[in-house]
Chains A and B, each alone.
Chain A
Amino acid sequence: MSDDKIDIIHHLADSNVLEFSILSVDVTVPLPHFELFGMDLSITKHVVMMWLATTLMVAIFPLICNRKSLVPTGFRNFFEAILLFLRDDVVRTNIGKEDGDRFLPYLWTLFFFILFCNLLGLIPFGATATGNFSVAVGLALISFVVIHLAGIQKNGLKHYLESIVPPVPKALWPLMLVVEVLGHLIKPAALAIRLFANMSAGHVVLLAFLGFIFTFKNIPVIGISVLAACAVNMLEIFVAFLQAYIFVFLTSVFIGMSVHPQH
């Protein structure tokens, strides 16, 4: 019984080795460990998955985006539909045409980085890098910095800092400052937690369903579990797109708010 125990956390958590099996032979590849300035910069499973995602992006997009033909076909059509949707309905709507187009490269990269990480997590032996809180925090930190630099660059540091607190009676000002500053910190924290939680939750459910098979050990349960796991996997594909979209959408909303503060 203890042999069949499934450690769900182990599947979600990062590790120092890559594990996969070829023709039911388990292969374990240890990854290098190193530190820099006292920081643990080991290459972990999730780092490898991120590299895989970035490699795919760097392989796919230059190829797609440099086609000379004016008529998009095939794969280019698929990606262009997404890219144009993000440009027209997310970025330009939330930030505005003039300001928004400057953030397009960042937001496009962000969307596909998250999407590719999400989808790679659904491939057997893959791991969801975005389901790791540290990765989500990293992405949220970038968003945080971009959001505020955008506001400072557009409105000037002095004006931007002034616009953090909306016009309220003088007595409320200290309280509002605290609330607004907290708000600015919570926004990226929420981005990180949302992404991480959504990406892990599906995997937890998926593993739980498949875990039933080993817990109950009978045929009907296998059928139900596999069907349910399939359904959850479908849902996961949708969630992969949805979470990438939400992260980018909220980031552009925040950039829009910071670029055009209410007066």
Chain B
Amino acid sequence: MSTKSIGRRVWTIFLVLFLFSGTLLMASGGDGEHAKVGLLDVKSGLVVWTIVAFAVTFLILKKLAWKPLLASLQNREDRIRNSLEEAEQAREQAEKMLKDYEEKLTTAKAEVKDLIAKGRKDAEAAKENLLKEANDECQRIKERSQQELKLTKEKAVKEIFDLAGDLAVSISTKLIQKTLDKKVQDEIIKDGLDKFKSLKSLN
């Protein structure tokens, strides 16, 4: 529907009404100035003025007001519709991103968990290692001490045996000095043996 044809139609309406009111006027025989004023009289002149005033206003407003208004309303409606669609899209995108991030977060959490577990295991192993080493060291030290102790003891025993030997020599010396008396001889031997025994118990 073009503006031109609407404009033409308006003028047609105007023309038809103009002629129509003219006919009304003829029929009523003209409303003179001196005619009695009645509220229900139709004055063709005023009808025509009404139609002229309306038609002119209509044409002016149609061109200067209603057209731009309809355009701006259309524009606004489009804008609102677009904005809503864009907002919807943005929301969907945001949701997608949120989901992505949540997924990433979940994987990251799992990774962290693995890392912690691995770290703990490593630490455990290191601890184990350290303990083992410490134990080994301990063992070594203990063995060495025992070795040394043994050596010392052997040395001591050897010294005792040397001392016992010396003692035996001194006993036999004494024995030879005292001589003869069998009884005394037995006693001396017995005494020496007891001393040796007591030495032996030192071991």
Contact = CB atoms under 8 A, between A and B. Distances in A.
A51 interface: yes
B1 A58 contact: no
Contact of B39 (A9, A66, A83, A102): A9
Contact of A38 (B1, B17, B25): B25
Contacts of A9: 37, 39
A108 B66 contact: yes
B17 A135 contact: no
B165 interface: no
B17 A141 contact: yes
A62 interface: yes
B50 A65 contact: no
B44 A39 contact: yes
Interface string A104-129: 11101110010000000000000001
B62 A105 contact: yes
A96 to B, nearest CB: 14
User: Which among B37, B53, B56 has the greatest number of chain A C-beta atoms within 10 A?
Assistant: B53
Interface residues of B, number: 49
A65 B54 contact: no
Contacts of A13: 37, 39
B33 to A, nearest CB: 8
B46 A47 contact: yes
Interface string B61-96: 110111111101101100100000000000000000
A60 B12 CA distance: 27
Interface size class on chain A is 35 or more
A103 B47 CA distance: 22
A108 B192 CA distance: 151
B61 A138 contact: no
A198 interface: no
A9 B3 CA distance: 43
A contact patch SS = helix
Contacts of B55: 142
A239 interface: no
B4 to A, nearest CB: 14
A46 B51 contact: no
Nearest to B32: A40
A155 interface: no
A47 B49 CA distance: 7
A54 B57 contact: yes
B64 A62 contact: yes
B131 to A, nearest CB: 78
A243 interface: no
Contacts of B61: 57-58, 61-62, 105, 108-109
B44 A139 contact: no
B129 to A, nearest CB: 75
A177 interface: no
A128 B180 CA distance: 181
8 shortest interchain CB distances as A-B pairs: A138-B50, A61-B65, A134-B46, A65-B69, A62-B64, A40-B45, A65-B65, A105-B66
Interface of B: 1, 6, 9, 12-13, 16-17, 20-22, 25, 30-31, 33, 37, 39-51, 53-58, 60-62, 64-70, 72-73, 75-76, 79
Given A37-B22, A142-B54, 20 more contacts: A9-B37, A13-B37, A40-B31, A40-B44, A41-B49, A44-B46, A50-B49, A61-B64, A64-B65, A66-B68, A70-B75, A104-B70, A105-B62, A113-B57, A132-B46, A135-B50, A138-B46, A139-B54, A146-B13, A149-B13
14 contacts: A40-B30, A40-B33, A50-B53, A53-B53, A58-B61, A70-B75, A132-B46, A134-B45, A134-B46, A135-B50, A138-B48, A139-B50, A145-B13, A149-B9
Interface of A: 9, 12-14, 37-44, 46-47, 50-51, 53-54, 57-58, 61-62, 64-68, 70, 83-84, 101-102, 104-106, 108-110, 113, 129, 132-135, 137-139, 141-142, 145-146, 149, 153, 196, 200
